[in-house]
Amino acid sequence: MSQQNAIVVGAGIVGLATARALALKGYQVTVIEKSQFSLGASVRNFGMLWPIGQPDGQLYNRAVRTREIWLDYLDTAHIPYNSCGSLHLAYNQEEMDVVEEIGSFFKSKNRPVSVISSKTILENYNGINEDGLMGALRSEDETIIDPREGIKNLPDFLNEKYKVTFIWGTAITSVSSNAVYSGKTKFSADIICVCSGADFETLYPEQFKQQPIIKTKLQMMRFKHKDPSYQIGASVCGGLSLLHYKSFTASSSLSKLRLKIEEEIPEYLKYGIHVMVSQNNEGELTVGDSHEYGLDFDPFDKMEINKMILDYLKKLMHIDQWEMIQSWNGVYPIMTNGATDLFLNPEAGVYILNGIGGHGMTMSFGFAEEMINNL
């Protein structure tokens, strides 16, 4: 029996993860990407592998599996990364109540977490604002990759290890059973996987409109410290992130924190702002982000959003020695019904993998592996 062929449309992280999963299942895989290299949401993020944000059960297990696959690739390809873990800092009693409750819950589920004191934080991590600091949730799982390097080198790795072929600079304009088309040029395969992020809308517009799916625009910034040797020692976030990630809904104290934030800084909820800092192995500090929802967006960044992010960041970190070197925005699809992913079979032999929102780095490998193994 001859080997079956598969085509993956899109070379973002979901497409690359799907190509790997198909190759492991025995397919000869070709990835077709409209750009000359990956430049969408997959490289416009923190580079965080963030299991701490995933609820217990399937989603947390998927995040842990994704991290395993990432680290195997990074170690094999000799790409550096920062296994620094994370800190959710608490500066008021409502935040501390959530931290303590969720810390106890996660420990009961054998997650590698602990609740640490302000003294321990200030002794072991750099740049943390000590004013009002009460404690933090410390997690060991989180890892930082520079997504520009991690994604850029992944196609070569997939080609060398799994014989995945890449066709760059070729926009797919239509899809049918067993074939995709770039204008009049036809590419045939036994199976087609559409992993084109927001471009799913152009290939299957009717299916896109039928889904509870919308797009979100995020704004981000990158800094360098004036001291090249400066290391925080962890990825850092605060109370807004406790509201943002679904894993923390396991805390009964979260509702009181939400009320406090709604009363004190409702404008942060309006723009979906939660403030995080990741530091890659080059020492660069990535800061964000915000979430504006719609089907189309103004292409320009809102300076008031960046200011709000930095004003909140100053409550967590001393940033007077930080120099901004880049700012940007990214757009990705997200489900509006609370679903964590989208897997469709619009016609025979065609599958759409999408809708994992802002969790591409954290979830894609595990998600693709599950979906492809279940075909």
What does the pLDDT look like over 290-316, one tens digit per residue? 999 988 898 899 999 999 999 999 999
Per-residue confidence (pLDDT) for residue 51, from 0 to 100? 96
When the pLDDT of each residue in the chain is averaged and rounded to a whole number, the result is 93
How many whole angstroms separate alpha carbon 60 and alpha carbon 212? 23
The model's pLDDT over 132-179, given as tens digits with 9 standing for 90+, comes to: 999 999 999 999 998 888 888 999 999 999 999 999 999 999 999 999
Tokens of 217: 């625009």
Predicted confidence at residue 1, as pLDDT, reads: 57
267, 222 Cβ separation under 8 angstroms: no
Query: In which residue ranges of the chain is CATH 3.30.9.10 found?
Result: 86-140+213-335
* Number of other CB atoms surrounding residue 186 within 10 Å: 11
Nearest residue to 356 via CA among 208, 200, 242, 197: 197
pLDDT at 355: 81
Residues ≥6 apart with Cβ < 8 Å to 281: 80, 81, 82, 144, 146
**For residue 41, what pLDDT is reported?**
58
* pLDDT digit string, tens, across residues 193-241: 999 887 788 999 998 889 998 889 999 999 999 999 999 999 999 999 9
With cut-offs at 50, 70 and 90, classify the pLDDT of residue 359.
confident
Question: What single-letter amino acid sits at 327?
Answer: S
| CATH architecture assignment, domain 86-140+213-335 | 2-Layer Sandwich (3.30)
* CB 308 within 8 Å of CB 219: no
Model confidence, pTM: 0.93
pLDDT of residue 39: 65
**Domain spanning 5-45+148-211+340-373 has what CATH number?**
3.50.50.60
- What's the CA gap between 356 and 333, in Å, rounded? 8
pLDDT tens-digit map of 18-45: 999 999 999 999 999 998 877 665 667 7
Strand partners, 116: 136
The boundaries of every CATH 3.50.50.60 domain in the chain are: 5-45+148-211+340-373
Average pLDDT score over residue span 91-117: 97
What is d(CA 149, CA 43) in angstroms, rounded to the nearest whole number? Answer: 9
